[in-house]
Amino acid sequence: MRDSGRSDLILSNSTTYRILSRLPAMKSHAKSCIDYFESSASSAILDIDRMLSELETMNLLDHGEVNGFKTSFRQIMEYLNGNFKLHAKMQSYYSDHCLTWGLSDTSNTFLIAPHSHSHQKRCADCKGMDEIIEKVNKTLVEIKDEATGAKKQKLTEFIVEYGYNVKKLYELKAHHARSVFTSLERERIIGSLEENQCFLTADYVQKWLPAFFKESQKMWFGKNGK
């Protein structure tokens, strides 16, 4: 402030202390990225970890099962943020990797892109993700059916919570598919630009009106302007 000639904007020590007494300074050990989908999915993994630990504490799952499930979900997160984005292509025989097929809306003829291939192959990692998610859900249901009283009520809550967290993981997968598609389209458009043309990007964090700041990334994604 002094260097810019605005010493009048410097807070006095007493004012600073009053602010800190209401809003104490805290050391941040970790921060979530600005990508809300990835942040939500990371929170979902932590919630699932906590749920599995509680099941072990309640003697409803043994230590080996819990560790196995936790490891599987961490691997799912690593796959979604890594190899899945590398494998996603505009055209692919693997249904989970085919962006043309995956991003088409079969209920709307205007949002269906044609493709001249079949999807007879299934990615082992994507299939494994579906299988482990279903296995944990099936395990929860089986344990709940055998439980009574407070444990049964707790497991009912776990099943609802688990479904909510699984939805976040699939939303991250869909988000990465859209992101890869957007990047490929951007490359295609830029590659076809003429000398008198330019390409502008309106990113999620570049919204102009404060009224839209509370809008979620999911609501914003894919808009073409207002």
pLDDT at 94: 86
- For 182, residues 6+ apart whose C-beta sits below 8 A from its C-beta are none
User: What's the confidence (pLDDT) of residue 208?
Assistant: 47
Give me the average pLDDT of each 10-residue run along the chain (226 residues). 68 70 52 66 94 94 95 95 90 85 77 73 91 96 91 92 94 91 88 88 55 57 54
Neighbours of 107 (CB within 10 A): 7
CB neighbours of residue 73 within 10 Å: 22
HSE of 180, CA atoms in CB hemisphere, 13 A: 24
Contacts of 84-89 with C-beta under 8 Å, sequence gap 24+, read: 84/125, 84/126, 84/173, 84/176, 85/176, 85/179, 85/180, 87/123, 88/176, 88/177, 88/180, 88/181
DSSP 148: -
Q: What is the pTM of this model?
A: 0.72
Encoded amino acid at 50, one letter:
R
